[in-house]
C-alpha cells in the first residue's frame, strides 16, 4: 500500500457538511493529492490506493474521495480504469494543461516575464460585426483596449479587445496600468467574471501595422486567435482578437468525450 495511507491524514476535518476551514472537504483532499503528485513523490502511472481505502484513512465518505479524484481527472492529473484502479498521469500530460488564464498567468507558468504596452483605451459605438458577436444592439457603447503583449521584453502578440461594460461604466488606460491585469480590473471594479471562452484559431499574414508593432516582416505568418468570453450568466462580455508571432505556441488539452 502506498505512502498516502501511512500518513496521519489530518485534513483539518470540519465535520459533516461543515466546511469551516474554508474549502470544501473534497477540494482539500484534491489539493493534498495534487501536492503529492506535483512534488514528484508519485511516479508516472503509479497506482493510487483504492477509493475505499483512501476514504477509510481520511475518515471520510467514498463519495467525497470520488469527487476529489474526479476533479484531478478533469485536470489531467489522474486517470481511472474500472476494475484496475486509479493512476497518476504521466508528467508530459500534466505539464500541458490549459485553462482560461489571462496572458500574464499563462506566461508566468511558462517561466517568462509578461509585459504590455497599452496602445489605446477608448469608448466607441459598436459596429455591426462587433455587435453581432457580442449579441448587443449596434451602436451600443463598447470599450476597446488594444495592447502589445511582451514576454521578457520582446513583443510577441497584439491583443485587440472589445468589452461590454455595465451601463455607464468606463475606465482609462491609467486604471488598467494601476490594476496590472485587465481581468482583475473587470472583476474588482465591475464584478465581471469570466466563466468560459469560445476560441477560434487560424493563421494570417502580418499587415504593415502588425509588422511594425511585432518587429516582423510584412507577410510573416501570425497565429490569429479570436475569443468570445462569456460571463457567469453566459452573456458575451468580451470579443478579443489576438495575433501572435510564429514562435508563440498555444497549447490546449482536448478531452475525448464519448457518448458511449
Partner DNA sequence: GAAGCATATTGGTACGTACCAGATATGTCA
Partner DNA sequence: TGACATATCTGGTACGTACCAATATGCTTC
Rounded distance, CA 215 to CA 148, Å?
Answer: 11
Q: Which of 13, 128, 107 is nearest to 59 (CA)?
A: 13
**Using a CB cutoff of 8 Å and minimum separation of 24, what contacts does 120-128 make?**
120/144, 120/145, 120/146, 120/173, 121/145, 121/146, 121/171, 121/172, 121/173, 121/176, 123/170, 126/162
Q: What 3-state DSSP class applies to 203?
A: strand
Between residue 154 and residue 193, which ones bind a second copy under the rule CB under 8 A?
none
**What is the crossing angle of helices 62-74 and 25-38, to 10°?**
50
Q: How many chain residues interact with a second copy (CB under 8 A)?
A: 59
Rounded distance, CA 116 to CA 104, Å?
Answer: 9
Rounded distance, CA 235 to CA 186, Å?
Answer: 15
Task: Show the cell assigned to 170.
Answer: 468606463
Instruction: Compute the least distance from the CB of residue 6 to a second copy, in Å.
Output: 26
Binding of DNA by 171 (CB under 7 A): no
Between residue 69 and residue 128, which ones bind a second copy under the rule CB under 8 A?
74-76, 79, 81, 87, 89-90, 92-93, 96, 98-100
- When the beta carbons of 17 and 254 are compared against DNA, the nearer one is 17
- When the beta carbons of 8 and 200 are compared against a second copy, the nearer one is 200
Binding of a second copy by 218 (CB under 8 A): no
Binding of a second copy by 208 (CB under 8 A): no
- When the beta carbons of 94 and 121 are compared against a second copy, the nearer one is 94
**Using a CB cutoff of 8 Å and minimum separation of 24, what contacts does 111-114 make?**
112/151, 112/152, 113/151, 113/152, 113/153, 114/149, 114/150, 114/151
Which of 36, 57, 230, 241 binds a second copy (CB under 8 A)? It is: 230
Instruction: Compute the least distance from the CB of residue 88 to DNA, in Å.
Output: 12
Instruction: Compute the least distance from the CB of residue 50 to DNA, in Å.
Output: 3
Instruction: Compute the least distance from the CB of residue 27 to a second copy, in Å.
Output: 7
Instruction: Compute the least distance from the CB of residue 231 to a second copy, in Å.
Output: 10
Q: What 3-state DSSP class applies to 159?
A: strand
Binding of a second copy by 67 (CB under 8 A): no
Binding of a second copy by 129 (CB under 8 A): no
Contact 222, 196 (CB under 8 A): no
Binding of a second copy by 9 (CB under 8 A): no
Between residue 42 and residue 81, which ones bind DNA under the rule CB under 7 A?
48-53, 55, 59-64, 66-67, 80-81
Q: How many chain residues interact with DNA (CB under 7 A)?
A: 31
Question: Which residues contact DNA by CB under 7 A?
Answer: 14, 16-19, 24-27, 48-53, 55, 59-64, 66-67, 80-86
Amino acid at each position: 500500500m502506498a505512502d498516502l495511507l501511512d500518513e496521519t491524514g489530518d485534513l483539518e476535518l470540519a465535520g459533516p457538511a461543515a466546511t469551516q476551514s474554508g474549502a470544501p472537504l473534497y477540494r482539500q483532499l484534491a489539493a493534498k493529492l495534487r501536492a503529492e503528485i506535483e512534488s514528484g513523490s508519485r511516479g508516472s502511472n503509479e497506482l493510487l490506493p483504492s477509493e475505499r481505502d483512501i476514504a477509510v484513512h481520511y475518515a471520510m465518505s467514498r463519495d467525497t474521495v470520488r469527487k476529489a479524484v474526479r476533479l484531478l481527472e478533469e485536470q489531467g492529473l489522474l486517470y481511472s480504469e474500472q476494475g484496475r484502479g486509479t493512476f497518476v498521469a504521466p508528467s508530459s500530460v500534466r505539464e500541458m494543461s490549459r485553462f482560461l488564464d489571462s496572458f500574464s498567468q499563462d506566461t508566468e507558468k511558462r517561466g517568462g516575464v509578461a509585459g504590455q504596452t497599452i496602445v489605446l483605451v477608448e469608448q466607441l459605438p459598436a459596429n455591426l460585426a462587433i455587435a453581432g458577436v457580442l449579441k448587443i444592439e449596434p451602436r451600443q457603447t463598447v470599450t476597446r483596449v488594444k495592447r502589445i503583449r511582451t514576454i521578457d521584453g520582446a513583443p510577441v502578440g497584439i491583443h485587440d479587445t472589445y468589452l461590454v461594460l455595465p451601463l455607464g461604466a468606463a475606465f482609462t488606460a491609467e486604471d488598467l496600468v494601476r490594476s496590472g491585469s485587465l481581468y482583475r480590473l473587470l472583476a474588482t471594479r465591475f464584478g465581471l467574471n469570466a466563466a468560459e471562452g469560445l476560441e477560434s484559431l487560424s493563421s494570417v499574414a502580418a499587415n504593415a501595422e502588425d509588422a511594425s508593432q511585432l518587429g516582423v516582416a510584412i507577410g510573416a505568418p501570425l497565429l490569429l486567435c479570436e475569443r468570445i468570453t462569456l460571463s457567469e450568466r453566459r452573456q458575451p462580455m468580451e470579443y478579443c482578437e489576438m495575433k501572435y508571432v510564429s514562435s508563440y505556441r498555444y497549447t490546449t488539452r482536448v478531452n475525448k468525450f464519448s457518448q458511449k
